[in-house]
Structure 1
């Protein structure tokens, strides 16, 4: 399996046709999003529908069973899903990130097996974050051989995004040698307990509850080194969230149009309706879309360069600078998309002063809470400092305080 980008392929699907393919499912998602949250109904049927339509494999090459779409196209599709239901979009985040890592990874039996699984429709959920009293970047979840030499996984994870809906779980763990590894296991394997206990005030249906592992058997072939599987992923974790926020901003614009039209019909005079707030929302949507597109374009350049360099000895190191620039652009996009989306939602509240219809207020509340929750991932205040440090002093993202002082 290759999953390498086609060159000058005139049969590449257009973005409009790509989104249109999923449109019926997305319309059904949007119409039921509020009711699902009110009933706390996990979106199993919606998830299965997207899976059946090939959402999880759109980035694979055609030879591998996918659509070979570009990064900007993927981000547009994620935004379209998020406009319908941001919970569904976020529940796919771990899978999307995993696909990108496997696409750009050097050729190996491990990579080929995962491309095969993804092509057949398998979906990957995450089990990374731990809520125990541990140091950032340190896992208490362990993988080690038992007395018979069988690898066993033990630990407890929080924020297991997409886990309740997934076929496989990617688990961050520490092996017997103290090394970080990624252990992949079937989500319903004996010893895996998936809890629907996420109680955040927004994004309530991303199936991001606690996952408990008790002596779970792990196949040796499904264990991979952490660093070996995270080259090329810089900027990706954030840009998926930015696509989701852009989708929420579009949902706010769509609802604002509905509110204004209903108000105009109620008063019987278009001139009596103030559309200024709607205009402000539309401007913020453009701001978010423009920033997302810019991030997608440079991530595409990094993706193409990384794949081209993979075949060369030491070639992957040669694209480190471009990948760093892609990460910088993603963080700069965040500094635009987060405030743009929140501003759009704040304006939405005042689109039609005095509106009291319950269904509209409930939807406005849902969009606002979801946007606030996603915006809290890797807070903007941190990214402002990181971007400033990079531009002024060349400090690498993620540098510790003492490293920042030394580099300055």
Structure 2
């Protein structure tokens, strides 16, 4: 089953239509964010409501049950969702990348499953003494399918998912991508993520104990979108932009509600205090810049998608892919800094009472700091610099592991 020409050329919905469909859900989610954070209340109900409404299929063509939105439209929505609850935006990260990959591969079968409301998680990363690029999870033939054995960590979103994407290595040393049912016999998912931020992403451990996978649930590596790494990074950037937007909203609301002033201050209500107004204005500018960066990279992604659909020559498409990858890195470098500074400066506009645990305003910095710790930004700055100076194109699919000689 493939995507037809009509699917790729159909007019997308207006953004107002998408916002009217999903914004009320975002608002309900936002209303309980601080309480959920305080109680470490996982997000099964909220993600279930989004899935039922079709959020997981925003980019899926209408003929397969989706909204048929463009990449810029989707990432604009994702920023809104992240402003409501940054944990959900990250929990859906692998799902979003999977959809982009299946669109690239013209895989109508899986797109239809997504259009029916299915959500995908991930189980990629291995910890312990595994060399860079090494994979200890195994996959072996079993009848007309395969059996997978191994343990993965940082399996973000899998506790909320219907299917889990995972990587394994066969006896011939080949890396295989498999899509495993989350409730299959032998699958065990633990919420043992203990980071100080993004605590509700369910980024814990997944164990595969002789789990059966049909041959039809293997994904061919060659069918993966070449801009996949850029998409993964753009999701993080959109999440940081959403956090920064929520910082502005929370700061403005808190200032509006304050009456307490200081004798060495400006002697007016906080909302009329020009220094407090300046702080909130600077926060707003940071949020605007972060969202503009997301929009720019999403437009680069859309350009690459449209070039391929139009049958552009391979070099033109490759250049477009590079623009997505480097654009996502450039945005990461800037937005990482903006989000962390904004989520700290928030408290300069308020007082000591803003640090009350019940408000959970510190979650914005904690969440931004944890997201920023993924895919270390210091290396991205060097890579972008090397590209600007020497036109060096790196390997975009990076891996982690134990250093040689350790």
Give the TM-score taking structure 2 as reference length. Answer: 0.90
Gaps of 5+ in 2: 262-266, 398-406
Aligned equivalent of 1:162, options 153, 157, 163: 157
Q: Is the CA contact 1:3–1:60 (under 8 Å) kept in the aligned structure 2?
A: no
Change (3 A) 1:120 1:3: farther
- What is the distance in 1 between the residues matched to 2:295 and 2:280? 23
Q: Match for residue 301 of structure 1?
A: 303
Q: Match for residue 384 of structure 2?
A: 387
Instruction: After TM superposition, list the pairs within 5 Å mapping 1:2-401 onto structure 2.
Output: 2=3, 6-7=8-9, 9=11, 12-105=12-105, 107=106, 111-146=107-142, 150-264=145-259, 269=269, 270-272=271-273, 274-309=276-311, 319-356=317-354, 358=356, 362-398=359-395
Change (3 A) 1:384 1:356: closer
Encode CA deviations 1:137-196: one digit per residue, 9 max, x unaligned. Answer: 2211110024x5651100000000110010001111112321111111110000101111
Encode CA deviations 1:267-291: one digit per residue, 9 max, x unaligned. Answer: 9734446311101101111111111
Change (3 A) 1:170 1:327: same
Secondary structure in 1 matching 2:307: helix
- Larger relative CO (CA 8 A, sep 6+): 1 or 2? 2
Change (3 A) 1:297 1:216: same
Q: Is the CA contact 2:244–2:287 (under 8 Å) kept in the aligned structure 1?
A: yes
Secondary structure in 2 matching 1:285: helix
Moved over 4 A (4+): 3-6, 264-268, 315-318
Q: Is the CA contact 1:62–1:68 (under 8 Å) kept in the aligned structure 2?
A: yes
Q: Is the CA contact 2:227–2:324 (under 8 Å) kept in the aligned structure 1?
A: no
Give the TM-score taking structure 1 as reference length. Answer: 0.89
Q: Is the CA contact 1:87–1:205 (under 8 Å) kept in the aligned structure 2?
A: yes
What RMSD, in angstroms, separates the aligned Cα atoms of the two structures?
A: 2.2
Name the stretch that deviates more: 208-217 or 349-358: 349-358
Change (3 A) 1:149 1:22: closer
Q: Is the CA contact 1:52–1:121 (under 8 Å) kept in the aligned structure 2?
A: yes
Encode CA deviations 1:254-278: one digit per residue, 9 max, x unaligned. Answer: 0010111012588973444631110
- What is the distance in 1 between the residues matched to 2:20 and 2:178? 36
Secondary structure in 2 matching 1:235: helix
Name the stretch that deviates more: 350-359 or 320-329: 350-359
Deviation of 1:297 after TM superposition, in Å, equals: 0.8
- What is the distance in 2 between the residues matched to 1:365 and 1:3? 48
Change (3 A) 1:261 1:239: same
Q: Is the CA contact 1:280–1:347 (under 8 Å) kept in the aligned structure 2?
A: no
Change (3 A) 1:8 1:173: closer
Deviation of 1:16 after TM superposition, in Å, equals: 2.9
- What is the distance in 2 between the residues matched to 1:150 and 1:87? 35
Deviation of 1:353 after TM superposition, in Å, equals: 3.2
Q: Is the CA contact 1:144–1:175 (under 8 Å) kept in the aligned structure 2?
A: yes
Name the stretch that deviates more: 25-34 or 13-22: 13-22
Number of residues of Structure 1 aligned to a counterpart in Structure 2: 388
